[in-house]
Amino acid sequence: MNSSNEKLFQAILTGDKDQAVQETQVALENGVSADSILNESLIRGMEEVGQLYENGEYFVPEMLISARAMKAALDVLRPLLVESDVKPMGKVVVGTVKGDLHDIGKNLVAMMVEGAGFEIIDLGSDVSPEEFVEAIKESGADLVGLSALLTTTTPMMEKTIQAIQEAGLRDRVNIIIGGAPITPEFAEKIGADGYAPDASRAASLVKKMVSS
């Protein structure tokens, strides 16, 4: 890895947003391609952050500040990635289901999945089954991520999956679910394709599903 990419990688690990933006600009000025910056520094940096989280060395706040630094660097790169026609690894629609306003965990999932190289269509919180269906149709998403934090809103996950099925879109998308009250057994019971306990594992699961 060249030294600009290495410095940016370190800025992502330490969650230093200003330095991440600055190092992205320096790397571009040094002629490093947007593609290389994305893969060598941002995606690799977020993979490392995910690993540190899974090993218990990082916690949610560290993961959040790293994800924020990654997003800031990505804002600098985005127009160049569009120009150079670098394709995302896939499109992912995410949202917290209807009736549920908790969005902190969902935002973290969205940031980690974006950090893994995917385009995110974030519908926010309190999202109805119809809104999910519409977003899948409009975006041509490969995968849908549903989040719920309340035991009372978990049945809405099943309703959302049913609505996707009834709209004839079920074969087109993988569906993963997560949130504090969710278990792998519940995911299987309601017909989701997968479950992740945290944002880092959600990003790994999305990568695995879309590439298989």
User: Cα–Cα distance between 113 and 43 in angstroms, integer?
Assistant: 10
Nearer to ligand B1M, 120 or 196 (CB): 196
Residues making contact with ligand B1M (CB under 6 A): 60, 99-106, 108-109, 145-147, 149-152, 176-181, 196, 198-199, 202
Q: Which position has the token pair 């990568």?
A: 207
User: Cα–Cα distance between 132 and 111 in angstroms, integer?
Assistant: 19
Cα–Cα nearest to 96, from 36, 42, 145? 145
The DSSP bridge pattern shows strands 143-147 and 119-122 to be unpaired
Nearer to ligand B1M, 6 or 48 (CB): 48
Nearer to ligand B1M, 45 or 145 (CB): 145
Taking CB atoms within 8 Å and a gap of at least 24, the contacts of 58-61 are 60/108
**Least distance (Å) between residue 179 CB and ligand B1M:** 4
Q: Which two tokens stand for residue 203?
A: 């990003």
Q: Which two tokens stand for residue 210?
A: 């879309």
Nearer to ligand B1M, 8 or 93 (CB): 93
